[in-house]
Amino acid sequence: MELIQSPVELRARLVGAASVGFVPTMGFLHDGHARLIERASQENERVVVSVFVNPLQFGAGEDLSRYPRDLARDQEIAEQHGAHLLFHPQASVMYPEGFTSRIELGGPGEGWEGASRPGHFSGVATVVLKLLNLVSPTRAYFGEKDWQQLAVIRRVVRDFNLSVEIVGCPTVREPSGLALSSRNSYFTAEQRERAAILSRALRAAQNAYAKGERLSKRLLDTARMVLMSERELTLDYLALVDENLRPIEVISRPEGARLLIAACLFGVRLIDNMPLSENAHA
């Protein structure tokens, strides 16, 4: 596997490839990223993994400076799971002097993370559009853990007529149920176990739905009761939304219905989501 920093070199290495799979990341790879890379390697002739901690998607007071980084480890993991190229551009390459363009989002970028982190999805959409233009992949792979981000990226691809297939891949979880995230490295072992309360709360709402509850308020109250047992947790939002990320009041059908949560625990902001019904198709 080659480590490449130049967009010109990247394009040269991909000339003639019948298909290219692309896994964009901010590095500090974990098993969730590994699954994305494995799937990309199964479905494409060449696989590119990018590692770039994108400053545009971090707001004031967020963790840009302390975001975990370990390029050597990332190279090892990417190669083990089938990547051919690791693209690691410098910020000066992605955003050269005089760079002023940004994507402004409506639709799926509004509300939830968009409201809690102003400018975040603008930064995400801008860097993803640049990376897709640089790599020109056949398929690009994203985890469903960032459900709203996935919706934003699909909208950008549609709105800008990009010829790439966006592939969403299931969330990978620790045995406790905690969704894998590079930010989990901020926790102690005990804190990681306690952080699984987010997934337990969503499971409680799923179970209430399976037992016949159809009112969103009652389903979310069921989840809140679980969350109340963790005194260190500060809830940002908890929602039940449709496929367009709009709140649902009464569930007439489970297809597309999604539970979303964001909370701060031990100084770490976490997000998670689950389908309302595991048997329904989004």
pLDDT per residue as tens digits for the range 135-162: 999 999 999 999 999 999 999 999 999 9
Question: Do 105 and 143 reside in the same domain of the chain?
Answer: yes
From residue 201, alpha-carbon distances to 43, 178, 238, 272 in Å are: 35, 11, 10, 10
Catalytic residue among 33, 81, 84, 120: 33
State pLDDT tens for residues 36-89. 999 999 999 999 999 999 999 999 889 999 999 999 999 999 999 999 999 999
Range of the domain at 242: 182-275
Name all contacts of 245-250 with Cβ < 8 Å and 24+ positions apart. Answer: 245/108, 245/111, 245/112, 245/148, 245/151, 247/216, 248/216, 249/215, 249/216, 249/217, 250/214, 250/215, 250/216
**Among 169, 194, 214, residue at a domain's last position:** 169
Nearest to 171 by CA among 69, 81, 275, 269: 275
Same domain assignment for residues 13 and 100: yes
Q: Is 130 annotated as a binding residue?
A: no
Q: How many domains does the chain have?
A: 2
For residues 17 and 100, the answer to whether their CB atoms sit within 8 Å is no
The response to whether 27 counts as a known ligand-binding position is yes
Query: Are both 137 and 188 inside the same structural domain?
Result: no
Task: Tell me: is residue 150 an annotated ligand-binding position.
Answer: no
Co-location of 154 and 252 in the same domain: no
Q: Is 16 annotated as a binding residue?
A: no
81 is in an annotated binding site: no
Tell me the whole-structure pTM to 2 decimals: 0.95
Residue 33 annotated among the catalytic residues of the structure? yes
**What angle, rounded to 10 degrees, do the helices at 197-210 and 216-227 form?**
150
The confidence band for 281, taking pLDDT boundaries of 50, 70 and 90, is very low
CATH classification of the domain holding 20: 3.40.50.620
- Are residues 19 and 132 located together in one domain of the fold? yes
Q: CA 236 to CA 261: how far, in whole Å?
A: 8
Claim to verify: residue 28 and residue 108 sit in the same structural domain? yes
d(CA 129, CA 119): 15
Residue 281 lies in a domain: no
154 and 190 together in one domain = no
pLDDT digits (tens, 9 = 90+) for 240-249: 999 999 999 9
* Residue 153 sits in the same domain as residue 120: yes
Residue 31 annotated in ligand binding: yes
CATH of the domain at 210: 3.30.1300.10
By C-alpha distance, which of 238, 242, 249 is closest to 272?
238
**The tokens 């799937």 sit on which residue?**
39
Q: Is 172 annotated as a binding residue?
A: yes
